[in-house]
Structure 1
Amino acid sequence: MRTFEERLASPWLRGPLAALAGALPVLAFPAPSWWWFAYVAVVPWLLLARAAPTPRRAAYDGWCGGFGFMLAMHHWLLPSLHVFTVVIASLLGALWAPWAWLVRRFLAGVPTRGRVVAALLVLPSAWLCVELVRSWQGLGGPWGMLGASQWQVAPALRLASVGGVWLLSFLLVAVNVAVAVLVAVRRARVPALAALLATAAAGSAAWVWSPRPDADGTARVAVVQPGLVDGTDSGEKRFDREERLTRELAGQGVDLIVWGESSVGSDLAERPDLARRTAALSRATGADILVNVDARRSDRPGIYKSSVLVGADGPTGDRYDKMRLVPFGEYVPARSLLGWATSVGKAAGEDRRRGTGQVLMNAGHGLRVGPLVCFETAFPDMTRRLAGDGADLLVGQSSTSTFQSSWAPVQHASLAALRAAETGRSMVHATLTGVSAVYGPAGQRIGPWLGTDASATAVYDVELADGVTPYVRFGDWPVLGALLVLAGLFLTEGARAFRLRRGFAPHVPPARTAHESPVRPGR
């Protein structure tokens, strides 16, 4: 009978186990929201890659684990993209193959303390580089970064103000590596314990040292969430419902009213009646209204998703066109090659057009608003740029109606907490069908969530903050540090390989001169 170790060497068992191990961290994200699980969720994956019989097998374990992670994180896409979701997860999962190869390189067998100390820097750095690559908009963006699982943990949010979600991901992987060493490598427990203590000390230091946002007044912001609208002429029915809900805000002293993504289905220049009705709502409530138009524009070709500010006299001229579009949802990459995706799922039949730059809007009452549209709230660089440009309030307009019964709405709403903490700016996440939420400048939740079953309005007293956080000032420095660690590793390994090659070079005897003759035996 084969032992468990012999069975574990079988690719038919290791592959599914690696995929399952890679999927485990998803439980730390909403909807389960087991944030504490993120500190040990990667340990099974680490132990499996560490015990791989060969480096190639370790890389394959990394690929399978990455596939499991990406598929579990984006499982709610299956009804829309069908088999293409599996294809995407397979391609992106390969990014973790080098990471798992490094796991075996540093932790296999009985590693020395020096190798363990190096692993505590190299493995989190390699993970961060994986997140950096897959954060490119064309590969799906930074949805599901490990650090994002800590969106409701106050000390973690404070750390995010120092190094963004990148720093959280680095520290979480470092903790997982330390726990894996404690479990599997007894002789190296001292550096593992030291790493855990160092992480705790870093969190405590950030809590004490990192500057807190300075309060600079408040704003009264209302969110209008119409909820699901079925049947024909759904765009007109949605506008009617948004109009009715917005009228209920009259007399409540709001400074800004925010509608969700695609809340207006026609270009306002083409539909002056909608512009007049929205302006009348602004006059009735005494507040500017930030709507989102998803329509073909009258002044240029193509369909745009645009945040448009409407005041008492109509559109104010402040407009932001969405820059980062959802692959397959709003455009098909390399449509000539991948256009077949439209026949097997709900991929975009026509590509949306991109905006050319971010904007700040003057929403009245001295309020400077930085708008983002849906998918863009996952990108920390966009909110950091808006905060650096002087935004008082960040606003994300979203619609996750297609994924109403999945984990997607609450996952999306949680991202705004991180963006608020990173920038020290309150953030409003307004949706058509939930989940709508508002967070303060430290990432703390303000007021009620509007869930996916709600058709309602909510008014929030939002704190406005001044100054910039270390993350806004210094940017993605954890990513730069990770790249430097890996560059140092490659230089060290290259120098070591060069020395070994020279040390094992074959000995070549010196050439004999013409007057020399070989010594014959017996002479």
Structure 2
Amino acid sequence: MTATATAIDEPEQLEPQATPLSRGARLARRLVPAAAAALSGVLLYVSFPPRTLWWLALPAFAVFGWSLRGRTWKAALGLGYLFGLGFLLPLLVWTGVEVGPGPWLALVAVEAVYVALVGAGITLVSRLPAWPVWAAAVWIAGEAARARAPFGGFPWGKIAFGQADGVFLPLAAVGGTPVLGFAVVLCGFGLYEVVRQVIDGRRTGVLHRGAAAAALLSVAVPVVGALAARTLVSDKAENGTATVAVIQGNVPRAGLDFNSQRRAVLDYHARETERLAAKVKAGKVAQPDFVLWPENSSDIDPFKEADAAAVIEGAARAIGAPISVGGVVERDGKLYNEQILWDPDKGAVDTYDKRQVQPFGEYLPLRSLLGAINKNWTTMVRQDFSRGTKPGVFTMDGTKVGLATCYEAAFDWAVRGTVTDGAQMISVPSNNATFDRSEMTYQQLAMSRVRAVEHSRTVTVPVTSGVSAVIMPDGKITQKTGMFVADSLVQKVPLRSSETPATRLGILPEMVLVLLAAGGLGWAGTAVVRARRDSAA
């Protein structure tokens, strides 16, 4: 038998066979790892916003690594699924706020399958030398798959999005969310491996120096790398500054039925803009160079409804600055979730159509199948939104403002596309009124903070009902509103044009980690096959 094959088989030979275990002991040996996997998933959830307990992700992955190591791939599938449920069930509960538990449970059930497959992969590579590296790469490969399929993917819950307050955040500027997430997972698995090496060394009296050194490096390298990456984070204004105003007009009431009062939402945002104009005239706040309204701030199409256009025009003239208006526009029989650049003198001068539309929210996949099962399931999205094709960058009073509308903030490519197209700052107009006071708003706000560091850009987050915010390029929030209040934020922000390594490299770091995961799985799989052949021989 080869040395590699011996190493691969070793964990399965550790269990003593001399003394049969009682039924209760056998049951406990099955339940304890299952409970540990589920509870470590819950611990990972607790590390996410609105809490600032980012560091809990490390023990969460340490316990998850313990529960998986040395298991069969079938057992690891189940343990991974339990971990996924423990993490995603509470994280995504907001998806059922207005529509009931059905969609929430269905989404979690599907997304947890990815985590189950990742669990099986991790238990396989956990038998390799320096296994935390391979295991962390497998996790990121799972996130990459989850961000792309089905129906365009669902990146919500990426490990990077829970690290907006953490020491690892500067790594977002190095390689984006994949590198940031990889560092956190690697450190967590490395933490478990350090403990395991210490315990084994005390038990046997022999310390395997190579394995112990690899474990220590798994913890130390991510931390040192994050500290070194802080040099990439800067708030320095490279292209001057701009005074930006963020408008939060509020909505008549929370929930899906806010759409039934679309005119009220438009009036609220126009009113708050006019209130801000009065403050500017009184000298209480600075004159903004441009104004940012949220997504769905005018669900009445201003290109077809003259009264809606008049309301927007009145607000723009009152503030004396161009406004980016979030509208729902019908063109050539198609619906678009559109940002409209409205000049106080020229009217609508530019548009951006949302490119990553939300499945089951803005379009309905498998419409005919769902309608055949239950006609009521198709009534929530009566007409599908169409996708835009070009990155959104508005030139507003000389400033290039990149636009990533709401759901798009979760997708690496959607935000990066605005920066590579010349954006000097980024705006994430959103409408979270549907989700009431759930954690969704804070999870999305954390994404925007990560994006600020990733691309070294100021990020503004105008939201219909809150929380709206202004975020500096270092990820710090300098101003924010409450929820379900009418408010405005005015601030002078730095404009930047340099690109971080993450912006320049784009998808490359993620692909390297996916290839690393594939290499680890191939190595481990080949070793298992060889071991079985040698055993049979």
TM-score by length of 1: 0.87
- In structure 2, how many angstroms separate the alpha carbons of the residues matched to 1:189 and 1:472? 35
Cα distance, 1:5 vs structure 2: 5.1
- In structure 2, how many angstroms separate the alpha carbons of the residues matched to 1:218 and 1:350? 41
**Contact 2:171-2:226 at 8 Å conserved across structures:** yes
SS of residue matched to 2:168: helix
- Aligned twin of 2:421: 389
Cα distance, 1:450 vs structure 2: 0.9
Instruction: State the Cα deviation string for residues 30-68 of structure 1 (Å, max 9, x = none).
Output: 12231121222222222222264x331122111222233
Unaligned ranges ≥5, structure 2? 1-20, 202-210, 281-285
SS of residue matched to 1:88: helix
**Contact 2:327-2:340 at 8 Å conserved across structures:** yes
- In structure 1, how many angstroms separate the alpha carbons of the residues matched to 2:139 and 2:392? 33
Instruction: State the Cα deviation string for residues 429-462 of structure 1 (Å, max 9, x = none).
Output: 110000111111222222x211214211111211
**Does 2:41 correspond to 1:22?**
yes
- In structure 2, how many angstroms separate the alpha carbons of the residues matched to 1:409 and 1:502? 54
> Of residues 54, 75, 80 in structure 2, which corresponds to 1:62?
80
Cα distance, 1:83 vs structure 2: 1.9
RMSD: 2.7
- Aligned twin of 1:254: 288
**Contact 2:170-2:232 at 8 Å conserved across structures:** no
> For residues 145-294 of structure 1, what are the structure 2 equivalents within 5 Å?
145-153=158-166, 155-186=167-198, 187=201, 188-208=211-231, 215-230=238-253, 234-250=261-277, 251=280, 252-294=286-328
**Contact 2:246-2:488 at 8 Å conserved across structures:** yes
- Select between 135-144 and 395-404 the one with higher mean Cα deviation: 135-144
- Aligned twin of 2:389: 356
Instruction: State the Cα deviation string for residues 343-393 of structure 1 (Å, max 9, x = none).
Output: 3698423322221222321112x1111112110111122221211111112
Instruction: State the Cα deviation string for residues 156-211 of structure 1 (Å, max 9, x = none).
Output: 33211111111111011111111112333434444212221222221232224678
> For residues 94-493 of structure 1, what are the structure 2 equivalents within 5 Å?
94-107=113-126, 115-117=128-130, 119-136=131-148, 138=151, 140-153=153-166, 155-186=167-198, 187=201, 188-208=211-231, 215-230=238-253, 234-250=261-277, 251=280, 252-295=286-329, 297=330, 299-339=331-371, 340=373, 343=376, 347-364=380-397, 366-446=398-478, 448-493=479-524
- Select between 423-432 and 329-338 the one with higher mean Cα deviation: 329-338
- Select between 486-495 and 382-391 the one with higher mean Cα deviation: 486-495
> For residues 495-506 of structure 1, what are the structure 2 equivalents within 5 Å?
496=527
- In structure 2, how many angstroms separate the alpha carbons of the residues matched to 1:43 and 1:490? 20
CA distance 1:213–1:492, shift in 2 (3 Å): farther
SS of residue matched to 2:238: strand
SS of residue matched to 1:327: coil
Amino acid at match of 2:164: W
Amino acid at match of 1:483: V
Query: Based on CA coordinates, which of the two structures has the bigger radius of gyration?
Result: 1
SS of residue matched to 1:220: strand
Cα distance, 1:316 vs structure 2: 3.1
CA distance 1:4–1:180, shift in 2 (3 Å): farther
Amino acid at match of 1:141: F
**Contact 1:82-1:345 at 8 Å conserved across structures:** no
Unaligned ranges ≥5, structure 1? 507-523
**Contact 1:81-1:347 at 8 Å conserved across structures:** no
CA distance 1:130–1:106, shift in 2 (3 Å): closer
CA distance 1:494–1:68, shift in 2 (3 Å): closer
CA distance 1:505–1:350, shift in 2 (3 Å): same
- In structure 2, how many angstroms separate the alpha carbons of the residues matched to 1:248 and 1:46? 55
- In structure 2, how many angstroms separate the alpha carbons of the residues matched to 1:96 and 1:232? 35
**Contact 1:162-1:210 at 8 Å conserved across structures:** no
CA distance 1:453–1:185, shift in 2 (3 Å): same
Amino acid at match of 1:40: P
- Aligned twin of 1:511: none
TM-score by length of 2: 0.84
Cα distance, 1:124 vs structure 2: 0.6
Cα distance, 1:469 vs structure 2: 0.7
SS of residue matched to 1:360: strand
CA distance 1:23–1:452, shift in 2 (3 Å): same
- In structure 2, how many angstroms separate the alpha carbons of the residues matched to 1:273 and 1:21? 54
- Which has the higher relative contact order, 1 or 2, with Cα contacts under 8 A spaced 6 or more apart? 2
- In structure 1, how many angstroms separate the alpha carbons of the residues matched to 2:349 and 2:142? 40
